[in-house]
């Protein structure tokens, strides 16, 4: 069966001498793994299968296989506008990292595809703080997965505390309890989550934030999702960028 669909390139790996294996989060089939035979020999095609590119692809899908043959690909929206900002590139790749870690192969999720595509496109504009877009994506991701972090934090919304620790053994929050093994988030971070939850993506420019602890936020969502998904969610972009947020 031939499938033609929009998709977001998640990652690529060189395969043998001339080919590539590419993972694409598609509108129709969710996360798929494709082999692009001879791709690295085709100079006109180079640059299409790059992470963060929004593409239109056709591939031959066989029910008995997890690796499908790519037939053709074209770029719909390039990632190049993100290259002028380390922050934008970091946010974009972190979004892809969370998609890779939370999605299983061939599990269609059109709402999550649209969320991811819209966040990447918003990053290409200069109206919204890129880090706010990342937090928005992470809040909405938990909601899409049926693991709404805002709902879990609701009992703490009007309570006084300096920070909350997420106990990744029992899934409970504890106020002002510090244990190195567990992720923690400050009162300001919790307030930010509730603020962002009240906004749609196109209105995030109305949120004025002087600073936010993005490492703290990423570590929290990674631990939170690890607990509820029953698997280790590994986000490596902070280490790769070695960037002080």
What does the pLDDT look like over 99-115, one tens digit per residue?
Answer: 999 999 999 999 999 99
What does the pLDDT look like over 78-91, one tens digit per residue?
Answer: 999 999 999 999 99
Task: Report the percentage of the chain scoring pLDDT > 90.
Answer: 82
What does the pLDDT look like over 163-209, one tens digit per residue?
Answer: 999 999 999 999 998 788 899 999 999 999 999 999 999 999 999 88
Question: By the 8 A CB rule, do 111 and 103 touch?
Answer: no
CB-count burial class (<10 Å; 0-12, 13-18, 19+) for 66: exposed
Above 80 in pLDDT, residue 46? no
Angle at 88 between CA 25 and CA 205, to 5 degrees: 100
pLDDT of residue 148: 98
Question: By the 8 A CB rule, do 164 and 173 touch?
Answer: yes
Show the domains of the chain with their CATH numbers. 2-77 (2.40.50.140), 81-241 (1.20.1440.120)
| DSSP per position, 10-68 | EEEEEETTTEEEEEEEETTTEEEEEEETTGGG-TTTTTSS-TT-EEEEEEE--TT-SEE
pLDDT of residue 157: 96
pLDDT of residue 39: 77
């Amino acid at each position: 069966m031939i499938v033609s669909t929009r998709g977001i390139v998640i990652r690529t790996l060189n395969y043998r001498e001339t080919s590539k294996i590419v993972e694409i989060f598609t509108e129709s089939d969710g996360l798929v793994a494709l082999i692009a035979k001879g791709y690295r020999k085709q100079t006109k095609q180079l640059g299409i299968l790059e992470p963060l590119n929004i593409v239109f692809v056709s591939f031959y899908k066989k029910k008995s296989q997890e690796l499908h043959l790519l037939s053709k690909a074209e770029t719909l929206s390039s990632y190049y506008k993100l290259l002028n900002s380390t922050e934008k590139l970091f946010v974009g790749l972190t979004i892809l990292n969370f998609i890779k870690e939370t999605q299983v192969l061939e599990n269609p999720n059109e709402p999550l595809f649209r969320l991811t595509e819209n966040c990447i496109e918003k990053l290409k504009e200069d109206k919204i703080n890129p880090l706010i877009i990342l937090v928005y994506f992470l809040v909405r991701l938990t909601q899409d997965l049926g693991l709404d972090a805002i709902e879990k934090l609701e009992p703490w919304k009007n309570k006084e505390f300096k920070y909350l620790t997420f106990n990744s053994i029992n899934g409970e929050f504890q106020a002002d309890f510090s244990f190195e093994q567990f992720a923690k988030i400050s009162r300001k971070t919790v307030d930010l989550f509730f603020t962002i939850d009240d906004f749609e993506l196109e209105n995030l420019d109305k949120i004025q934030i002087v600073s936010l602890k993005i490492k703290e936020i990423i570590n929290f969502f990674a631990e939170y999702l690890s607990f509820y998904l029953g698997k280790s969610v590994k986000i490596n972009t902070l280490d790769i960028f070695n960037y002080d947020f």
